[in-house]
Structure 1
Amino acid sequence: MDETDKLIALYSHTGERLLELIRTLESGSYTRRRKERILKQIDEILAELTDGAAQSMSELLAESYKAGSQEAASSLIAQGMPENQVNTALEPIIHQQAVQAIMDDTFFRILEATDNMSQDAKLRVEEIVRTATERMLTEGFSRREATKEAVAKMTEQGITGIVAKNGARIPADKYMNGVVQYNLRKAHVTGAENTIVQNGLDLVYVNYVGITCEYCAKYQGRVYSISGADPRFPKLEIRPPYHAHCVHSISAWIEEYQTPDEVERMLAASNRPFTDNRTESNIRRYNEIQRDKARKNETRKQWLRYKAVLPNDTPNLRQFASQKARKTAKYTELQELYRKANATIKAEG
C-alpha cells in the first residue's frame, strides 16, 4: 500500500471507527453522561484524523510537486536542450509558495470533510436517542429493541464527507479520494509549469489521451502560451487537472526542436474549436471503462477498509480482487477475521 492509499485508508478506517462507536448504543442503556462521552470520543477520533491527514498530505504534495518539476526538466533534455543549460534548482521562495498555496486549499478540504463527518456522526447519535425514546413512548417498544433498530438504520451508510449540490451525501473516503488525487495532480502540473517558466520558456503541451471524458477532450492535445504573449496559440487559462482523477498534465513545447510539419500540425490542433471531438467509438469505450472502474472501485474501497484493520493479513489489491471474484476459502477466512477485528474494536470502544 503506497502513501496515497494509506491516506485514503485513514478515512475509511475512521469512518468505520465512528460507526462502531455509534453501534455501542445498541445495548439501550444510554444516559446523558454516556452520550456526552460518545460525542467527546467523536471529537477525539476526528482530531486524530485531521492531524494525520494534514501531515501526510503535506509530504505527498511536496513529493508530487518535485516529481512534476523533474519530469519537466527531463522533457527539456529529451527534446534537445543541452543538459547543462537546464535549470533544475527548486528555488525556495517560488516553489515553496506554490506548494503552500495548494496545501492551504487541501487543508481547507480536510477541515471541511472533518466538520461534515463530525456533524453527521453526532446527528446520528442524537437521532438514535430521539427515535428510540419516541418509539418506546408511542409504540410500546422496549428500550433495547427500539435502540437496536434505530442504530441499525443510522449505520447503514458511510459517514458523510461532503453534501453535494444536489443534496447527495458523499462518504468521507470517497470524497477525500477525489480531493487527494486532484491536488496531487495539481501539485505535479504546477511543479512542471514553474520549472518550464524558470527555464525561460512559454509554450506548453497538454498531453493527448485517446479515451477521455467530454470535458478533457476540449482541452487536450493542444499547445498553449502560458503568458498569452504568443498569439498563434491559445493562452493557458484553464490548466489540468480538469477534475478529480484527471490524468492530463503539461510539458514544455520547444518550437526550435520541432519539424516544420509538426509546427503546422500543432497550430491547427491548438486552434480548433473548444468542443468535444471524440468519436462515437471512443465515447462508448469511455463509458464502458467508467462502468468497469465503478465496479473495481467498490472492491478497492473494501480492500482499503480491510487493509486498515488487518494490515498483515490482507493481501495486495490484485490478490484480494481475485480471491473475492472467485470466492475462495482465503477470502471467506479474511472476511471472518475482519468481522472479529471489528467486534474487538467495538468492545474496546
Structure 2
Amino acid sequence: MSPDKLIDYFSFVVQDILSQVSSVDDLQNDANALDLINSILKTLDRLKATVADVIPEQILKEYFGGVDEGTKLLIAAGLEIKKASAMTKDGKVRKEFQSTMHLEAVQNIVEDTMMDLNAAIRTAQKSARASINGVLDAIKKDIANGLIVGDPRKVIQTRVAKSFADNGLTSFVTSDNKRLPLDFYSQTVVRTKMRTANTTGAVNRYLENGVTLVKVDEHQPTCHVCAGYGGKVFCPDGSDKRFPDGPLPPYHPNCRHTVAPFLDDFHTDDEIQAELNKWNNFKPDKDVRSAAQRYAYEHEQAIRRQANAEKKQYANYKMVLGKDAPKTIGAFRRMKRGNTSKFQALQKEYRSIMQTKSTVRIMPHVPGYDKAVFPDAKFEKYILNNAHPEGGPKAEAFDHVLGYNLTNKDELIQNIKDHLPTTKATFKGNNGYGDGYEAIMELTGPNGRTAPVLTAWFKDNEETRLVSAFIIDEKKSNRKRGK
C-alpha cells in the first residue's frame, strides 16, 4: 500500500465510521450505544494494525529513494562515486548501504511517524466515545426537563451525527484550540514524514561522501514560506559555521523542495560569498515574492483545490460503489464537469447507498480463503508480539486465554485456516483498492480453552491476506472444549 493509498484508507475508515453512526437505531438503548462505541474502537484498532504494516516499509522506500537521488546528484555535481541503487528489486537494502547512519535514521523516522499516527488514532477513539456519551447525557437531561416530547430516537440520531460531523473524530487539538479531524491530520503526518525520509536519505548520502553543504532548490510558483529558503545553502551537520544547519525541507506537508549537494571546492570565493550574502537580513516570515509570483501561486492552488476535492469525492464514490464507479479519476472528472446523465445516475446511486440504514453483507466465507496469505511478520511483529506498543495487549490475551504465543504461531495459523471454510464473513467495504472482510470464529487453543477471535482480511485483485486477529471477548473464554 503506497502512502497515497494509506491516506485514502484513512478517509475510508472515517467514512465507514460515519456510516456506522448513521445506521444505528435506538441509541437511547445503552446496549446499542455500547455496541456502536465498541464497533468504532475496533475499526480504529484495525486502522492501527494497517498503519503498523504500511509505515515501516514506505518510510524505508522513501528514505533509500532519497539516497539514490543523492547518488545521482553527487555524480552530476562531479564527485566520482559508484552508481548503485540502495535497494534490490525485491525491496531489500543492499549490504553496502546498511550503515548505522542509514538504519538509525530510518528507525527514528518510523518511530516518530508511528508515534504521531497512533496518538492521533487514540485521540480519535477518545473523541468518538466522548461524542456519543456526551450527546446521550445531554439528551437524557433534556428528556428529564421536558424539552423532548415523544420518541427521542430521531433527535438522538440527528445530534450524534452532528456531533461527529463537528468533532467526533478529532485526532489533534492545536494550541489555538482548532480541532483537526483524523483524515486531515493523518494526511498531514504521512506526507510530511515521507518527504522528511526522502530528504534525510539524500542528506545522509552527501554526508557519508564528505559533502557537508547542501542547497535547497528553487521553483515557481511557490508559497511564501518556501520562497524564503529556496536557493539557500545549509550545513546539516553544523561543521561549517558560515551557514546555518537548518531548517531543511519539507517546510509544509505538500512541500516539493529538495536539496542538492553544494561542493565548495567547485566554486570560487566570489560564488561562495554570494551564497553567504543571501542570508543577510534574512527574515523567515517575510514574503519575498513579487505580485506576479503570488498570483501564479494562488492560481495554481485554486486548480489544485478543485482537483483534490474531485479526487476525494472520487475516492468516496469508489469506496461505496466499488466496480460501479468510473475506472479512473479522469473519467470521473469528465462526467462530473459535464454533469452527464451517467454522472447524475451515479450520484443518485451513491446517495441512496449512503442513506440506507444498513448495508451489511454476510458472505458464506471469506472470498479466496483457500489461497489466503498469512504474513509471518503480521504474527511476529504485531498479533503475538508482547512488546508491541499497540499489539502487546492482544498478544497477551492470546497467550493468557488460548495459550498461543510466538513459539506456536504456526498452530494458530492452522487453526484459523481450518475454520475459514465454515465461518461466515462480513463485508466491511471497498476502499477503492480492494475489499475488507471480518470473520469471527470460535477457536480452541492448545490449553483446551475456547474464545471468539475476530480475524480481519483484505482482498484485492492479487490475493486475500490476513491483516489482523484478536480475541474480542475474554469473558466468553472460560469454557473448555465441549462445554
TM-score, normalised to structure 2's length? Answer: 0.65
Query: 1:166/1:105 Cα in 2 relative to 1: closer, same or farther (>3 Å)?
Result: same
Distance 2:97 2:357 in 1: 45
CA distance in 1, matches of 2:27, 2:85: 67
Residues 297-319 of structure 1 deviation map (CA, whole Å, 9 limit, x = unaligned): 32222222223334433432333
Residue 406 of structure 2: aligned partner = none
Q: Separation in 1 of the partners of 2:26 and 2:72?
A: 63
Q: 1:49 aligns with which of 47, 50, 54?
A: 47
CA contact (8 A) 1:23 1:155 kept: no
Q: Distance in 2 between matches of 1:303 and 1:347?
A: 20
Would the aligned equivalents of 2:124 and 2:171 in 1 still touch at CA under 8 Å? Answer: yes
Instruction: Compare the two structures and name the one with the higher strand fraction.
Output: 2
The alignment yields a C-alpha RMSD, in angstroms, of: 2.8
Per-residue CA deviations over 1:50-80 (Å, capped at 9, x if unaligned) read: 1102221221111110110000000111122
Alignment of 1:96-115 (within 5 A): 96-115=103-122
CA 285–31 in structure 1, closer or farther in 2 if over 3 Å, else same: same
- Residue 48 (structure 1) shift: 0.1
2: CA distance, partners of 1:294 / 1:190: 29
The 3 A distance-change label for structure 1 pair 24 and 13 is same
1:165 and 1:294, CA in 2 relative to 1: closer, same or farther beyond 3 A?
Answer: farther
CA distance, structure 2, for counterparts of residue 99 and residue 283 of structure 1:
36
Deviations 1:99-122 (A, max 9, x none): 111111111111122122212222
Measure the CA separation in 1 of the matches of 2:337 and 2:85: 50
* CA–CA distance in structure 2, aligned partners of residues 149 and 114 of structure 1: 25
CA distance change for structure 1 residues 337 and 60 in 2, over 3 Å: closer, same or farther? Answer: farther
* CA 1:262–1:310: 2 relative to 1, 3 Å: farther
1:118-157 equivalences in 2 (<5 Å): 118-137=125-144, 138-139=146-147, 140-157=149-166
Q: Which residue of 1 aligns with 2:258?
A: 249
Task: List per-residue Cα deviations over 1:156-209 (Å, max 9, x = no partner).
Answer: 447323222222222211111111110000000100011111111111111112
Q: 1:168 to 1:85 in 2, by over 3 A?
A: closer
1:15 matches 2:19: no
Bigger CA drift: 194-203 or 301-310? 301-310
The answer to whether the aligner puts 1:338 opposite 2:336 as a matched pair is no
- Give the residue type in structure 1 aligned to 2:307: K
Q: 1:306 aligns with which of 294, 317, 322?
A: 317
Q: For structure 1, which segment, 310-319 or 296-305, has the greater mean C-alpha deviation from structure 2 after superposition?
A: 310-319
Higher normalized contact order (CA 8 Å, seq sep 6+, divided by chain length): 1
SS in 2 for 1:247: coil
Residue 273 of structure 1 aligns with an amino acid whose one-letter code is F
Q: Which has the higher helix share?
A: 1
Equivalent residues in 2 for 1:79-228 (5 A)?
Answer: 79-84=77-82, 89-137=96-144, 138-139=146-147, 140-157=149-166, 159-228=169-238
Task: Determine if contact 2:353/2:359 at 8 Å carries over to the other structure.
Answer: no
Counterpart of 2:332? 320
Contact 2:235-2:246 within 8 A present in 1 as well: no
| One-letter code aligned to 1:160 | T
- Matches of 2:84 and 2:268, distance apart in 1: 22
Letter paired with 1:167? N
- Whole-angstrom distance in 1 between the partners of 2:358 and 2:131: 17
**CA distance 1:17–1:179, shift in 2 (3 Å):** same
- In the TM superposition, what is the alpha-carbon distance from 1:11 to its structure 2 partner? 1.0
The equivalent position to 1:293 in structure 2, one of 292, 304, 307, is 304
Residues 1:113 and 1:155: Cα distance change in structure 2 (over 3 Å): same
Q: Could you tell me which amino acid in structure 1 is paired with residue 109 of structure 2? A: I
- Matched residue SS, 1:170: strand
Cα 1:329–1:159, aligned 2, differ >3 Å: closer, same or farther?
farther
Secondary structure of the residue aligned to 2:318 is helix
Q: Aligned letter for 1:325?
A: R
Aligned ranges for residues 268-287 of structure 1 at < 5 Å? Answer: 268-269=277-278, 273-275=282-284, 276=286, 277-287=288-298
Amino acid corresponding to residue 39 of structure 2 in structure 1: Q
Mapped to 2, the partners of 1:161 and 1:271 lie a distance apart of: 40
Q: Share of identical aligned residues, percent?
A: 26
1:274-301 residue CA offsets vs partner (Å, 9 max, x unmatched) = 4532212212332333344333332222
C-alpha contact (below 8 Å) 1:18/1:121 kept by paired residues: no
In the alignment of these two chains, the number of paired residues is 346
- Secondary structure class of the residue paired with 2:260: strand
Q: CA deviation at 1:155?
A: 4.4
For 1:345 and 1:259, how far apart are their aligned partners in 2? 72
Q: Name structure 1 gaps, 5 residues minimum.
A: none
Residue 270 (structure 1) shift: 5.4
Task: Tell me how far apart the structure 2 counterparts of residues 6 and 329 of structure 1 sit (CA, whole Å).
Answer: 29
* Aligned counterpart for 2:73 among listed residues 58, 72, 75: 75
Aligned to 2:436: none
2:21–2:161 Cα contact (<8 Å) kept: no
Shift of residue 87, structure 1, vs aligned partner = 10
